[in-house]
Amino acid sequence: MGETVHDRSHTPHRLQTTLTPAQEAVAVVLRKTLLVSIDDMLAVVRELLNPEVSRSGLDRCLRRHGVGNLCDLQAQSGLVAVWCRSFDSVMCSK
């Protein structure tokens, strides 16, 4: 009887991830250090940390930790005129 007519969030309260918090931390450091694409990161993470990680799971992890946009990371590192892949080519500059 305490039900409401409002929809509740459809997001799970606890998101299931294949990476442990420690593995996520290592993946974030690798992304900041290597400055490589998500596909290259996926190969590194599968080889070094967890062979079961999916591309989408890794992408969500990197975005959750603020390192999902490679173009922004490269600009922060001092690289100028770096081409980023997206729906169309966008030139990033510092």
- Mind listing the pLDDT tens digit for each residue in 66-78? 999 988 888 887 7
12-31 mean pLDDT: 84
User: Percent of the chain at pLDDT above 90?
Assistant: 49
**72: region left, alpha or beta (phi > 0 left; psi from -120 to 50 alpha):** alpha
**DSSP state, 91?**
E
Cross-strand pairs, 92 = 82
Average pLDDT value for residue range 71-91: 60
Enter the pTM of the model: 0.68
Chain CA centroid to CA 58, Å: 5
How many Å apart are CA 49 and CA 19, to the nearest integer? 8
For residues 29-54, one letter each, b for 16 or more C-beta atoms within 10 angstroms of the residue's C-beta and e for the rest, the string is ebbeeebeebeebbebbeeebbeebe
Backbone angles phi, psi at 82, to 5 degrees: -105, 135
Query: Where residue 15 falls among pLDDT bands split at 50, 70, 90?
Result: low
